[in-house]
């Protein structure tokens, strides 16, 4: 490709990044398409496509291959859908025309097959580093981003209209992701918003870099090695350390213009660092690391088995269980980390206060005259969460939910018509009498469950118009073979702008603040939302419906 001046248009930005010798010497694009055909005779729809710029010896173009077995990629709940994975190489010169076809003509050239597409928007290039001590989300859906890093250009399918049956079901997305991973290392469930999108990945291969710690000091060494067929040019190395108090602990700049070079970065702290190598001629990043640290010590836990096992008697069995017992001996290998216990203490206390402010960790411990205050505080905290996160939806999951629990929580959502769901087991008491006919608990429990469901249904139906106004709520319960019993209690906000978030209530709504419990934000709201959705979808039978606000329309 000839040298081109950069401007803001999409194809020119792509052309700039693909100039020979800038990020690499590319001669082809490896295209991997994950596609679906929704019914016989339909055109394929894009589930996820990635184009990776590569340098290969004697590449063979426009010869598609299909990866995996269609039967193993099938999703039983999407009847009629057929899913496949297609891979082929394109000449690098076709990169711009392929992108332009999607953006201007809504047409994708799939190795010679013209496929109509939904409307796509262009997202400007971004740089993605390799993983450090924390994973970079994009690396789960791109190819081998282990070294200097990659530029990504994304064509976004914002509507995803053709994918609604898939994208509206998180459990189905996870199932699809697991099936795809059997054949290609793409974890689409980790970035489910990328479903239907097209990614152009341009890995940096013009230089290879190595960042390593130096023994006996906090200094690091940055080594740079140019591609054999690319002439060296001036580069700027920028290194920075960030402190635990949100300070900049160290900052260093060095300039290099050799074929192979080394820079010693004189750091003085043990805090995380990042390194960026900047090419001022073409205004691109040629290497970058995310915030990183080096392992300077390791704790080894040596376990010695005791001579005799521990024998544990069993309540319902004559035969006891034997478990092996050991002693431990811990040894530190390497340098002991220098930490300030006073700084640790202050940061811990500040974190506690912030978690409390955001209701991410709140402890309730009612004592004496404070019992009513704690009950009121706990309920107010739930309402705070609902009105902070619930404008796009709230799901309440509690086996003991009754009509008043729902009134005192979900009905306090101040966002009119926010979609809300509740699952209750309308639990029967543990001392329910046995059925006089079949001498089992089952019949009696079913009758009690039906009776309680009717009570809740009637209660909501008799609410005045001013109470039900703006309420968009549906309540379900497991019944007989539909669904399953559950124990944990959660409040979930499935449509939060940064993905689902959820809190563990620590107790049922009817016991909030009455006994010691902890309200705690869970680390993976998506998994809780998926579990709720899975149960919800199993409660489609008429017997499982307790009440819906649509009944009042």
Domains by residue range for the chain, with CATH: 8-204 (no CATH), 208-288 (2.60.40.10), 297-334 (no CATH), 356-551 (3.30.870)
**364 vs 400: CA distance, rounded Å:** 20
Is the per-residue pLDDT at 305 higher than 70? yes
**325 vs 369: CA distance, rounded Å:** 47
User: Which pLDDT value is given to residue 201?
Assistant: 97
- Please state, as a whole number, how many other Cβ atoms lie within 10 Å of the Cβ of residue 494: 24
Is the per-residue pLDDT at 420 higher than 60? yes
**78 vs 306: CA distance, rounded Å:** 55
Is the per-residue pLDDT at 30 higher than 90? yes
User: Which pLDDT value is given to residue 5?
Assistant: 36
User: Which pLDDT value is given to residue 92?
Assistant: 96
Burial 425-446 (b: 16+ CB within 10 A, else e): bbbbeeeeeeeeeeeeeeebbe
User: Which pLDDT value is given to residue 426?
Assistant: 74
**Tokens 């086996």 identify what position?**
399
Crossing angle, helix 170-181 and helix 525-537, to 10 degrees?
Answer: 110
Is the per-residue pLDDT at 101 higher than 60? yes
**Cα 135 from chain centroid (whole Å):** 11
**Cα 167 from chain centroid (whole Å):** 14
- What is the average pLDDT value for the chain, to the nearest integer? 85
Query: Which residue from 288, 166, 164, 205 is spatially nearest to 24, judged by alpha carbons?
Result: 205
Which run of H or E residues covers position 126?
strand 121-128
**Tokens 């404008």 identify what position?**
391
| Residue count of the chain | 553
Q: Output phi, psi for 469, to 5 deg.
A: -60, 130
User: Which pLDDT value is given to residue 32?
Assistant: 96
Is the per-residue pLDDT at 8 higher than 90? no
Per-residue pLDDT of 430-471, as tens digits, reads 344 444 434 444 444 455 555 778 888 888 888 888 888 888
pLDDT: which is higher, 483 or 437 = 483
- 8 Å CB contact between 16 and 282: yes
Is the per-residue pLDDT at 547 higher than 80? yes
User: Which pLDDT value is given to residue 451?
Assistant: 72
Is the per-residue pLDDT at 216 higher than 80? no
User: Which pLDDT value is given to residue 2?
Assistant: 38
- 8 Å CB contact between 242 and 249: yes
Per-residue pLDDT of 251-296, as tens digits, reads 999 999 988 899 999 888 778 889 999 999 999 999 999 988 776 6
**431 vs 441: CA distance, rounded Å:** 9
- Please state, as a whole number, how many other Cβ atoms lie within 10 Å of the Cβ of residue 122: 17
**49 vs 195: CA distance, rounded Å:** 9
């Amino acid at each position: 490709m000839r040298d081109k001046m950069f401007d803001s248009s999409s194809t020119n930005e792509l052309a700039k990044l693909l100039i020979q010798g800038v990020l690499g010497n590319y001669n082809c694009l490896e295209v991997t398409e994950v596609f679906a055909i929704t019914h016989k005779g339909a055109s394929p729809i894009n589930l996820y496509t990635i184009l990776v710029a590569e340098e290969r010896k004697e590449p063979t173009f426009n010869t598609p291959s299909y990866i995996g077995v269609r039967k193993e990629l099938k999703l039983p709940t999407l009847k009629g859908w057929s899913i496949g994975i297609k891979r082929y190489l394109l000449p690098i010169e076709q990169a711009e025309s392929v992108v332009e076809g999607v953006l201007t003509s809504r047409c994708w050239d799939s190795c010679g097959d013209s496929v109509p597409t939904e409307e796509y928007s262009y997202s400007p290039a971004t740089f993605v580093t390799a993983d450090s001590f924390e994973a970079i989300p994009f690396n789960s859906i791109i190819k081998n981003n282990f070294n200097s890093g990659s530029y990504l250009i994304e064509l976004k399918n914002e509507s995803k209209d053709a994918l609604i049956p898939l994208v509206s079901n998180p459990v189905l997305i996870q199932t699809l992701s697991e099936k795809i991973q059997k054949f290609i290392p793409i974890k689409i469930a980790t970035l489910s918003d990328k479903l239907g999108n097209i990614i152009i990945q341009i890995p940096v291969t013009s230089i290879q870099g190595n960042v390593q710690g130096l023994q006996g000091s906090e200094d690091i060494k940055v080594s740079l090695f140019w591609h054999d067929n690319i002439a060296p040019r001036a580069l700027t190395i920028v290194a920075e350390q960030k402190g635990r108090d949100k300070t900049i602990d160290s900052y260093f700049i060095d300039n290099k213009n050799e074929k192979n070079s080394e820079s010693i970065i004189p750091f003085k702290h043990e805090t995380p660092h990042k390194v960026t190598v900047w090419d001022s001629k073409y205004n691109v990043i040629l290497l970058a690391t995310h915030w990183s640290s080096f392992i300077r010590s390791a704790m080894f836990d040596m376990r010695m088995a005791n001579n005799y096992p521990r024998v544990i008697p069993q309540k319902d069995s004559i035969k006891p269980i034997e478990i092996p017992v050991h002693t431990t001996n811990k040894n530190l290998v390497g340098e002991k980390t220098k930490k300030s216990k006073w700084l640790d203490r202050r940061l811990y206390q500040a974190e506690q206060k912030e978690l409390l402010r955001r209701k991410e960790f709140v402890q309730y411990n009612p004592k004496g005259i404070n019992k009513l205050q704690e009950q009121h505080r706990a309920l107010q905290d739930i309402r705070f969460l609902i009105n902070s996160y619930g404008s796009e939806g709230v799901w309440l999951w509690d086996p003991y939910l009754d009509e008043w629990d729902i009134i005192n929580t979900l009905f306090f959502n101040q966002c009119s018509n926010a979609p809300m769901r509740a699952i209750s087991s309308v639990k029967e008491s543990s001392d329910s009498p046995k059925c006089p006919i079949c001498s089992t608990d089952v019949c009696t429990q079913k009758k009690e469950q039906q009776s309680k469901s009717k009570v809740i249904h009637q209660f909501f139906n008799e609410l005045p118009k001013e109470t039900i106004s703006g309420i968009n709520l549906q309540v379900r319960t497991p019944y007989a073979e539909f669904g399953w019993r559950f124990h944990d209690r959660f409040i979930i906000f499935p449509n939060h702008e940064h993905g689902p978030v959820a809190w563990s209530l620590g107790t049922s709504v009817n016991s909030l603040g009455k006994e010691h419990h902890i309200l705690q934000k869970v680390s993976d709201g998506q998994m809780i939302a998926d579990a709720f959705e899975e149960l919800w979808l199993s409660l489609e039978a008429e017997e499982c419906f307790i009440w819906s606000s649509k009944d009042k329309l």
